[in-house]
Amino acid sequence: MGRSVVPEMQTLPQISSKYLYCFDKEANLQWSQPYSKVKAVCIKLDELIDIIRADQNNLGKNEEVLAMEILD
């Protein structure tokens, strides 16, 4: 299913990251390489959750740096 959905989602601007949870990591790594929005391919749920948490923490730090006060 991922092979048909991921290419379609690549063009959607509202989706910034995709994480693949699968049973065959090597096969899914091969076909997902060209898609920049695929952040991780995991076969263990705990690993996937840790990667998503780390990415969310990094995203929060980056947004704090970019925050600006626009009202006086």
This prediction's pTM: 0.70
**Residue 72 falls inside a structural domain:** no
* Sheet strands (E) in 1-72: 18-21, 38-42
Q: Position of tokens 């898609």? A: 35
Domain range for 33: 2-66
* Cα distance between residue 36 and residue 17, in whole Å: 8
Q: In this structure, are strands 18-21 and 38-42 parallel, antiparallel, or unpaired?
A: parallel
**Residue 51 falls inside a structural domain:** yes
**Residue 19 falls inside a structural domain:** yes
**Residue 40 falls inside a structural domain:** yes
**Residue 26 falls inside a structural domain:** yes
**Residue 71 falls inside a structural domain:** no
Per-residue pLDDT tens digits of the chain, which is 72 residues long: 888 889 988 889 888 889 999 999 999 999 999 998 999 999 999 999 999 999 888 876 655 555 555 655
Tally of structural domains, the chain: 1
